[in-house]
Chain A
Amino acid sequence: MPPHLIDGEPHDHAHDRPKRQRTPGEPLRIGIGGPVGSGKTALVAALCRQLREELSLAVLTNDIYTTEDADFLRRNAVLPDERITAVQTGGCPHTAIRDDITANLDAIDDLIAANPPLDLILVESGGDNLTATFSSGLIDVQIFVIDVAGGDKVPRKGGPGVTFSDLLVINKTDLAPLVGADLDVMDRDATKVRAGRPTAFVSLTEDPAATPVLAWVREQLAAAAAADRAGAETSVAH
């Protein structure tokens, strides 16, 4: 992408973050991180319900305490059991998605082997803090989920999730009037640090399909498919 303007400021993508080199045909891996209680698991459930009829997907959870989130997803029957796996993180969910991703990589290999072919794997982090972020060795793109009830100052506090996630989701907008959160302030603060990366405001209670997030996920899937096709054409040309 050539240099362009955002808010009147010159902007290019020379400072883009490192990305995983996806092998064509591999399932797209989307990381979903964010603080405790922000609605990560509810978002995963919503995406599964919307996407499970049209593509083959699986979910990997990283709970602080064992299989709480995976159990929620199973109880709600958003996917068959064999498409949901939980990894234990030794009390450090952050370590398991950033510093030593081995347990997650092994679990992904097992999901791929057990459910061929897979188009999409959602990797949900354990509830953590604002410094949590996924290693680019583990996922292709990541969503960071915060909620308005955590206070409208959260985007201003920043951190790698708020700043560098490929999609920032601000959840529970229906609660904004109840907790005195100003959505415009959150939008403005997020825009300031995100250098053009998108932000989506959702209320999963009012919009159970998570429409803007779903649209973004479909874009990512389409981009991955296009990259696969381009790769295939290049290899034929050679």
Chain B
Amino acid sequence: MNASVNARAILYALADSRLPIGGHVHSGGVEEAVASGLVRDLPTVEAYLCRRVATSGLVAASLAAAVCAGELTEARADAEADARTPAPEARAASRAQGRGLLRLARQIWPHRDWSTLTPRPHLSTAFGAVGAAADVPPAEIAGIVVYTTLTGAATAAQRLLALDPADIAACTVRLAELCDRTAAEAATGPAALSDPLQDVLAQRHVLRDMPLFAS
């Protein structure tokens, strides 16, 4: 680990699903995937999570790491995220969560200048800026973004399918190596990738009646 981390607990706090940034109202496409019959049981949940980590997780982590490293400005990172997220609703979901993280960051680090971010930055942009504010190395921010991309969707799947929480925890552990590999790749530079499945799910989610999650 890079010596610039001032406390490991900061990493854990940022990766904690209880971090109050509004993430619990987003399912990462899982609700629509369940409604569409794509995700039905533990094997299909795991397949979905693998894909989400390898696509959305990689892209978001790579942009966050680049912002954290000072290689991308916040404005440029938002534009790069838009370019990789064609669906308006997928963008809106990312920006809603970025707004939540920015709200928290202003309260934790009030003396940092947050005016370089728009009021609704992409979540990846906000994570990069928070990483810089907290002296977290870019590779660690990449790991946190990959991990929370996984756990947010996994928790939603657990709730929506009433799965055994231990099964979801075991699935998370099985995917740990994939998470590490994805984060390492993300730290090498912005990933040129988008995932049509995530875009389609995000758009369909808002058309369906009675959603539990915002996305």
Contacts and interface: CB of A to CB of B under 8 A. Distances in A.
Interface of A: 64-66, 87-92, 95-96, 99-103, 105-106
Query: Which range contains the number of B residues in contact with the other chain?
Result: 20 to 34
A99 B20 contact: yes
A90 B20 contact: no
B22 A102 contact: yes
A106 B22 contact: yes
A48 to B, nearest CB: 25
B25 A88 contact: yes
Given A90-B26, A103-B22, A64 B212 contact: yes
A102 B213 contact: no
A65 B96 CA distance: 19
Q: Which of A64, A91, A101 has the most CB of B within 10 A?
A: A91
Contacts of A88: 25, 211-214
- By Cβ-Cβ distance, the 9 closest A-B pairs, closest first, are A102-B22, A102-B100, A100-B20, A91-B212, A90-B25, A88-B214, A90-B213, A103-B22, A65-B210
B25 A65 contact: no
A102 B126 CA distance: 15
Given A102-B100, A103-B214, A87 B25 contact: yes
Contacts, number: 61
Interface of B: 18, 20-27, 96, 99-100, 103-104, 156, 159-160, 209-214
Q: DSSP majority for the A interface?
A: loop
Contact of B18 (A65, A91, A96, A100): A100
A102 B26 CA distance: 12
A66 B208 CA distance: 11
Contacts of B160: 91
A103 B215 CA distance: 12
A93 to B, nearest CB: 10
A238 B50 CA distance: 61
Nearest to A101: B20
Contacts of B20: 99-102
Contacts of B23: 100
A103 B100 CA distance: 7
A102 B159 contact: no
B64 to A, nearest CB: 19
A89 B18 contact: no
A214 to B, nearest CB: 32
A22 B129 CA distance: 29
A91 B20 CA distance: 16
Contacts of B99: 106
A106 B25 contact: no
| Centre residue among A88, A90, A95, A100 by max chain B CB count within 10 A | A90
Contact of A90 (B103, B159, B210): B159
B47 to A, nearest CB: 22
Given A100-B18, A102-B103, A106-B103, A91 B214 contact: no
Contacts of A89: 24-25, 212
A196 to B, nearest CB: 32
Given A99-B18, A102-B22, A103-B25, A90 B212 contact: yes
Nearest to B120: A106
A190 to B, nearest CB: 32
A88 B23 CA distance: 11
Contacts of A103: 22, 25, 100, 214
Contacts of B159: 90-92
A92 B100 contact: no
8 contacts: A64-B212, A66-B210, A89-B25, A90-B24, A96-B25, A102-B20, A106-B99, A106-B100
